[in-house]
Amino acid sequence: MKEPTRPIPQPTVDTDGSLVAYTVATPTAFKVRARVTIGSRKVIPVILVPGIMGSNLRARANMKARKDDVLAPGEPAWRPPNGVVEGFWEARKWAERSPSERQRILDASILEVDPDGQLAFAPSNVDPRMLRERGWGEVHAGSYGALLIDLQRHLDKTFQVSPRGDREIRHFWLRVMQSQAASWGVRSIEKVTEAELEKYAGYQYPVYAFGYNWLESCEKSARRLRTRIDQIKKFWTERKHECGKVILITHSMGGLVARACARLSSPGDGSAPDIAGIVHAAMPALGAPVTYRRIACGTEGGRYTNGLGDNLKAGAVTDIAGESAADTTPVMALSPGVLQLLPNHLYPKPWLHIRTIRSVNRRDDVRDFLSLPDGSPYDLYRDMKSWYRMIDPDLADPARRFEDSERSVVDGISDAIRDAEYFHTELLTLSDGKNGQTPYYHPNTYAFHGADKSLKAYGQIRWVAREPSVSPAALTPSSIRKGNLKSITDQGAREVRIGQDLQLRFSVWPEDAHGDETVPVQSGAGPTAHIRKMFAPAGLRHQDSLQPETMRLLIRHLIVKIVQDVQ
């Protein structure tokens, strides 16, 4: 009769390539054998690259503290809350912070990745020290823990021996093979075959996470990701394993980081041969107008279409990210990484509209006066004088960091916008040699995005004001453009003087596009013509897009497909 077994923590790899597993001594009467899983000597690391605010940040350990700094060297600056209780206390803490404190805490120049985030979600059969070495503590457990655990538990276990002694596919891979195309938002799929699983099973898939300073330019983060990939490959090669390629799984902003990393990788032609493939989730491929809205007006709150629970979450996000432009501008306007989430030069234009509503025969008549950008979107971002400007430089430096500097705060903002423009137009864009431009993607790329009719996102920004019943001045596109900003409400509405006698209150209308509550469909679907396959499942919320089981099944499906091209 076969003796029973019990699993023990997975082995670690020693510097000489030997595998080391630990267990505890038991009495001789205890007849259960320890069972340890040994992986292949051929390794394809899988690396998660999170979205904005999904990486833990701390003040640099070697930071030279200034007298007005809020953080001490090494002190956590940003650790996203996990769960309702943590979310409540974190929201309360940030709601009480002034714009000056926000600027001094979320200052890209003093921050680095914090590797000591929560690991309470980690599987018990894996040594926590190994998970920290693999970067799991660098990313938000609440957003990415479910996926990391799923990959850790399932990637290295493909087949098993049945009680009859036959090889059989494990049940969690059968679920991948039996998934229906409709659940992934497509009409048809090429299902994973047993032959494909046989090839897939010839490799080991250690799971890593890569945190980055999301306030810095995505280019800097991409170069650090490139370094991390090289370090991971070196780790396994030095330990007598074959490791020539990695697979990247990205979320939101992490997709921009990964694309830039592939573009910057040797040999420099975009092929990035040591990246076997990339899977993008909820990537703002062409940018997201909500970024303009949050800088210009503050973070939007709940929606009347949401339930109480979702609106409580939205309220917490508003408190943390900043309710007003005075809260958001000091952080976002000076952060290249944030500005790289703005609609880029390939986003469908125009997307910023200025309108009025007037009553005609007891019906509302909407009049369009301006549709922007009417040139480069980066010129629109650099405009800091018009009443519809995105950035008010007077709000950008409450901590007075630029007061004694040779450079003004406007210089700092302009530099950050220039970084965004270069990142979009040079690093993530290819020229076809005929003055045409196409976006760059790794040649083995898959992606999925939200396109739900009920999960609205800002596809356009619409400033709208109601005209008085009797207008003292004729409105024209020119008079609207030349309007003078008189005041801004706490909710972001703008009182604008038109000519001498007319004052209108312009507010941003609610979200208008299908999407995932953050990225509109026109941006999420942007890669479709340039990648292997795009998926558009229903009901996909942006922040939670890697958590549903259907999406985790899809990611495993795509990893198998990517491996088929590995030589």
**Mapped to the 3 state alphabet, what secondary structure does 515-565 carry?**
ECCCCEHHHHCCCHHHCCEEECCCCCCCCCCCCCHHHHHHHHHHHHHHHCC
Q: Where are the alpha helices (DSSP H) in 340-390?
A: 377-382
CA-based torsion, 81, 283, 245, 10: positive or negative: positive
17: pLDDT strictly greater than 70: no
CA distance 76 to 56: 8
Report pLDDT for 304.
43
Report pLDDT for 14.
72
Structure confidence by residue, pLDDT tens digits, 58-85 = 999 998 888 888 999 999 999 988 888 8
Q: Please list the residues that pair with 247 across neighbouring strands.
A: 46, 277
Residue from 147, 159, 252 nearest 516 by CA: 252
Cis peptide leading into 99, omega within 30 of 0? no
Q: At what angle do helices 171-178 and 549-563 cross, to 10 degrees?
A: 90
More confident: 524 or 18: 524
More confident: 535 or 31: 535
Instruction: Supply the pTM of this predicted model.
Output: 0.93
121: pLDDT strictly greater than 70: no
Structure confidence by residue, pLDDT tens digits, 235-292 = 999 999 999 999 999 999 999 999 999 999 999 999 999 999 999 999 999 999 999 9
Structure confidence by residue, pLDDT tens digits, 447-479 = 999 999 999 999 999 999 999 988 777 899 999
Map out the domains of the chain with their CATH numbers.
Answer: 1-38 (no CATH), 39-51+115-286+522-563 (3.40.50), 346-375+460-510 (no CATH)
- Residue 193 to residues 197, 247, 275, 561, 567, Cα–Cα distance (Å): 6, 20, 23, 10, 18
Residue from 73, 68, 67 nearest 111 by CA: 73
Mean pLDDT in residue range 375-397: 97
Confidence of residue 3 (pLDDT cuts 50, 70, 90): low
Strands (E), 436-535: 437-439, 445-448, 452-457, 461-466, 484-488, 494-498, 502-508, 513-515, 533-535
CB 110 within 8 A of CB 63: yes
CB 179 within 8 A of CB 551: no
CA distance 6 to 124: 13
420 token code pair: 């965004």
Rg (CA), the chain: 26
CA distance 203 to 559: 12
Mean pLDDT in residue range 107-128: 83
Strands (E), 373-467: 429-431, 437-439, 445-448, 452-457, 461-466
As a whole number of Å, the end-to-end CA separation of the chain is 42
Which helix or strand (DSSP H or E) is residue 224 part of? helix 218-238
CA-based torsion, 307, 309, 311, 314: positive or negative: negative
CA distance 353 to 371: 5
302: pLDDT strictly greater than 80: no
8: pLDDT strictly greater than 80: no
What contacts 392, CB < 8 A, 6 or more positions away? 325, 329, 384
Residue from 110, 19, 39, 131 nearest 68 by CA: 110
CA distance 514 to 525: 11
296: pLDDT strictly greater than 90: yes
For the chain, give the percent of residues with pLDDT over 70.
Answer: 89
SS3 of 250-309: the string is EECHHHHHHHHHHHHCCCCCCCCCCEEEEEEECCCCCCCCHHHHHHHHCCCCCCCCCCHH
CB 489 within 8 A of CB 479: no
**What rounded mean pLDDT belongs to the chain?**
91
CB 550 within 8 A of CB 183: yes
22: pLDDT strictly greater than 70: no
Mean pLDDT in residue range 298-310: 58
Residue 323 three-state SS: coil
Pairing of strands 33-35, 5-7: parallel
For the chain, the residue count is 567
303: pLDDT strictly greater than 80: no
Residue from 278, 21, 254 nearest 130 by CA: 21
Report pLDDT for 437.
87
Lowest mean pLDDT among 35-44, 138-147, 482-491: 35-44
Mean pLDDT in residue range 45-63: 95
Pairing of strands 12-13, 445-448: unpaired
DSSP 184-207: GT-S------HHHHHHHTTSB--E
396 token code pair: 């950008």
